[in-house]
Amino acid sequence: MSKEFSKEIRSNVTSDGNIEISIASVEKPVPAENEVLIKVEASPINPSDLGLLISFAADLDSLNVSGSGDETVAKMKVHPGLMKAMTPRLDQSMKVGNEGGGVIEDAGTGAENLIGKTVGVAGGAMYSQYRCVPANSCLVMDDSTTSAEAASSFVNPLTVLGFIETMKMENHTAILHTAAASNLGQMLVKVCKDDSIPLVNIVRKSEQVDLLKNLGAEHVCNTSEPDFMDSLVNALVATGATLGFDATGGGNEGKLAGQILSAMEIAANKTAKEYSRYGSDTFKQVYIYGGLDQSPTILNRSFGMQWALGGWLLTPMIGKIGMERFQQMRERVAKEIKTTFASHYTQEISFEEMLQPETIKAYAKQATGEKYLVTPHKS
């Protein structure tokens, strides 16, 4: 009996200072007890995938590609000053892809009832033609849902719902969000509208303002406008938002997180009952959850002493809310995957196309409205 094989994308940082992305052929996995074998038909390229796929240290100007078909290899230099940070992953051929969608082709004992179901899953190594995962990690979709629709059912939708849970757990009543015209940002606008949660959106282009307004967003502030800080303060006064989620990590020449805290302080002081030399007694929290801007985070401390700036990740958040609430969140995503949590893609690409220089440079930009969907079985 001949062996069956599965192709997958690998990323390797070599000791001689290169990042190599290639297509590997491995034995097709076989599901164990309570596992399923997914024929992966779609997997998005999210910003969170790029850290492993091309890394923050890649010199894209050095990018070159050799070979064709399954022998295609994309190679780029690591910036010399960042090579030391790459030490923990040197010479390891690493599987890539946080999430995807597909059809369950086979199952181990205890999971046979899932065969034929379309599912979304965040199992890692999803830039693969076939992937074995525990059955309970799959989000089973309605029969009318396609693999492409299911592909982005974890990272963005559950991050959005995680923001809402964080707001509730930490006793805030409204949310501020940056890079708000992204796929994730558009989902957040819809959820906050449906759930009657006040939301302040920050974007950097006028067409992004129009996009969000058309989705029903009430407060959209544009960092490129001269009155940005005034409009931000007004939006914060109107909503009472004291919790911000920043996708940039830098933004506005590194000043964005500090500008948000400052605007929150100004808004709080507009309703303060009395003056305090320590600033308002309103606690202000900004979480950085992404690194779309590699600028340093600059804080000019003009926001009193009741504030915090921290990092936010989805997985630890899921641990805090518990599996019961997490399951409720997943069920909402499955129910609204064609509406609230629908994702839109610029292009569907094969493994070979994924490794072409112009394509790598395009998805590495992480530009708003340009989302790529990897289709592992496309030739």
- Provide, rounded to the nearest whole percent, the portion of the chain with pLDDT above 70: 98
User: 92 CB contacts (<8 Å, ≥6 apart)?
Assistant: 12, 13
pLDDT of residue 271: 74
d(CA 252, CA 226): 12
Domain spans, the chain: 5-152+344-374, 155-318
For residues 55-63, average pLDDT? 92
pLDDT tens per residue, range 267-288: 999 876 666 667 788 999 999 9
d(CA 111, CA 135): 6
For residues 215-227, average pLDDT? 97
For residues 354-363, average pLDDT? 95
CATH architecture label of 5-152+344-374: Alpha-Beta Complex (3.90)
pLDDT of residue 248: 94
Say what the pTM is. Answer: 0.90
pLDDT of residue 273: 64
For residues 250-264, average pLDDT? 95
pLDDT tens per residue, range 335-344: 999 999 999 9
d(CA 347, CA 350): 10
d(CA 365, CA 250): 15
Of 323, 329, 335, 325, residue with least CA distance to 136: 323
pLDDT of residue 368: 74
Classify strands 73-78 and 58-66 as parallel, antiparallel or unpaired.
antiparallel
Helices (H), 36-109: 47-53
CATH domain 155-318 topology: Rossmann fold (3.40.50)
**Which pLDDT band holds residue 118 (cuts at 50, 70, 90)?**
very high
Supply the mean pLDDT for the chain.
94
- Would you say how long the chain is, in residues? 379
For residues 91-119, average pLDDT? 97
